[in-house]
């Protein structure tokens, strides 16, 4: 049986697919190397966007681990590895609390976010930059079949960047906090002359930008603490949040082009759609939404598996002090690739602003705040050109001090990853070899990426 990730951009055919319902069953799978061939790969909702999901050995889906046990006295919640972030948010909302970091993709599971990097747009000066930093305990099955409980922050620091290489996580404990209100406001700015990052952020505590590299402008969603906002969320605010959620879920792919159309015609139709989309974004964000208030946790999106396809994206993070150098170079990169190949992505580049956070060994923001450049495209449109652009972008990003995510950066080849290796990467490789000397959890992709 073939399994695919969320948007169909990666597939694999494991020898065995298992869905255990208890810890002893997970232990039995890990220990029985004859029946359940290596590599053993734990699976969540498959929202990773590259080969990190792939195994030709045993795929272990953890969706039956669904317990949710809040402890408001300790301000924590302990959940099963299969609990999605959006389900957890809904349960915590009843108690008036939320996770300190809110991922955009609500379908990510507890087991995956505990040991993988995520791109969570930060909110609040001095706040955490990644949801894994809110993890204060995990239980997992190691390569030798032990059920270990880890609460030591030094060990958690490694686990938060382990990508399933150190064990199968079956239980996660998160810190929680009181529900937090936020004001969303929207603006537009040209990229020539390039605004400073301080101008983009304004007086907000965070932002998500939509960079339009071929039109030379950027739309910005600023996120601020409401200074004089103590009352309830109003009906109009709720309506605007619902419109935003609908746009996030459906706006990227409102129609499918017939596959029989020649590529030249398809490309022209896409460019026409992009031109309409870019003008529509102005109307939607600046006029229809404008400004509204909500609870931060309620902005999480439920990206269920589509009937056809969604969008596809890649991830690279860059230090904020390189904004003035990297953004113009990126605009030149996009235009040069378009001139040489005729190809351009169908959707804007996402720019996340993420606060400094050194809680994970391979954190992409260990020493300062970062911004991302996430190219976005329709997931099935001109896949060969899209893959080639990702490979070229990876070289560009590595040349400019970029930092990837091992489960989201597209077309991440070993030769590029090796250019990024430093003491932190070597530490992860050493820990993996000590915890799993026989490679029970080592997939071919990660074997080429991790030292």
Fold adopted by 181-414? Vanillyl-alcohol Oxidase; Chain A, domain 3 (3.40.462)
pLDDT at 109 over 80: yes
pTM over 0.95: no
Residue with tokens 């992860």: 428
pLDDT at 228 over 60: no
Q: How many residues does the chain have?
A: 451
- Beta-bridge partner residues of 148: 140
Residues 142-166 have a mean pLDDT of: 97
Q: How many CB atoms lie within 10 A of CB 178?
A: 9
- The pLDDT > 70 percentage for the chain reads 94
pLDDT tens track for 18-47:
999 999 999 999 999 999 999 999 999 998
pLDDT tens track for 44-100:
999 898 999 999 999 999 999 999 999 999 999 999 999 999 999 999 999 999 999
What distance in Å separates the CA atoms of residue 329 and residue 23, rounded to the nearest whole number?
50
Residues 358-368 have a mean pLDDT of: 94
Most confident residue range from 40-44, 104-108, 254-258: 40-44
Phi, psi for residue 88 in degrees, rounded to 5:
-60, -40
Nearest 5 degrees, angle CA 42-CA 43-CA 45? 160
What distance in Å separates the CA atoms of residue 159 and residue 17, rounded to the nearest whole number?
24
- Beta-bridge partner residues of 189: 218
pLDDT tens track for 403-416:
999 999 999 999 99
3-state class (DSSP) for residue 70: strand
Residue with tokens 């150190």: 166
What does the domain layout of the chain look like in residue ranges?
181-414
Cβ proximity of 354 and 103 under 8 Å: no
Element (H, E) at 370: strand 370-372
**Predicted pLDDT of residue 158:** 97
- Beta-bridge partner residues of 42: 60
**Predicted pLDDT of residue 252:** 64
What distance in Å separates the CA atoms of residue 358 and residue 318, rounded to the nearest whole number?
15
3-state class (DSSP) for residue 162: coil
What distance in Å separates the CA atoms of residue 428 and residue 14, rounded to the nearest whole number?
26
Residue with tokens 């990467």: 425
Is the N-terminal amide bond of 319 cis, ω within 30° of 0?
no
* 181-190 and 291-295 strand pairing: antiparallel
**53: DSSP letter:** G
3-state class (DSSP) for residue 425: helix
Lowest mean pLDDT among 39-48, 165-174, 308-317, 427-436: 308-317
């Amino acid at each position: 049986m073939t399994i695919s990730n969320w948007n169909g951009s990666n597939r694999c055919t494991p020898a065995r697919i298992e869905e255990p319902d208890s810890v002893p069953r997970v232990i039995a799978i890990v220990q029985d190397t004859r029946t359940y061939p290596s590599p053993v790969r734990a699976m969540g909702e498959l929202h990773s966007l590259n080969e990190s999901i792939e195994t030709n050995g045993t795929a272990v889906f953890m969706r039956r681990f669904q317990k949710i046990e809040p402890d408001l006295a300790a301000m924590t919640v302990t959940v099963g590895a299969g609990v999605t972030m959006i389900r957890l948010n809904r349960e915590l909302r009843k108690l008036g609390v939320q996770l300190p970091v809110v991922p955009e993709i609500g379908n990510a599971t507890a087991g995956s976010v505990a040991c993988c990097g995520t791109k969570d747009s930060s909110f609040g000066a001095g706040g955490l930059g990644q949801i894994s930093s809110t993890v204060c305990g995990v239980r997992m099955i190691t390569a030798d079949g032990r059920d270990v409980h880890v609460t030591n922050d030094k060990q958690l620091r490694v686990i938060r960047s382990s990508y399933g290489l150190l064990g199968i996580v079956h239980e996660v404990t998160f810190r929680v906090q009181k529900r937090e209100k936020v004001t969303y406001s929207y603006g537009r700015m040209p990229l020539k002359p390039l605004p400073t990052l301080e101008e983009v952020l304004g007086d907000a505590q965070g932002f998500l930008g939509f960079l339009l590299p071929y039109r030379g402008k950027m739309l910005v969603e600023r996120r601020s603490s409401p200074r004089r906002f103590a009352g309830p969320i109003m009906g109009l605010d709720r309506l605007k949040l619902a419109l935003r959620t609908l746009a996030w879920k459906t706006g990227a792919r409102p129609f499918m082009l017939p596959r029989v159309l020649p590529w030249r015609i398809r490309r022209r139709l896409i460019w026409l759609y992009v031109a309409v989309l870019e003008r529509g974004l102005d109307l939607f964000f600046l006029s229809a939404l404008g400004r509204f208030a909500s609870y931060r946790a309620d902005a999480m999106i439920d990206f269920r598996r589509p009937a056809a396809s969604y969008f596809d994206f890649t991830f690279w993070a860059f230090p904020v002090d390189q904004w003035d150098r990297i953004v113009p170079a990126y605009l030149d990169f996009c235009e040069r690739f378009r001139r040489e190949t005729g190809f351009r992505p169908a959707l804007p580049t996402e720019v996340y602003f993420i606060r400094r956070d050194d809680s994970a060994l391979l954190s992409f923001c260990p020493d300062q705040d970062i911004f991302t450049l996430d190219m976005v495209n329709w997931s099935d449109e001109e896949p060969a050109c899209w893959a080639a652009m990702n490979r070229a972008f990876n070289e560009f990003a590595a040349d400019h001090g970029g930092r990837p995510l091992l489960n989201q950066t597209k077309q991440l080849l070993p030769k590029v990853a090796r250019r990024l290796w430093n003491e932190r990467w070597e530490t992860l490789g050493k820990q993996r070899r000590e915890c799993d000397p026989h490679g029970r959890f080592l997939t071919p992709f990660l074997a080429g990426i991790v030292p």
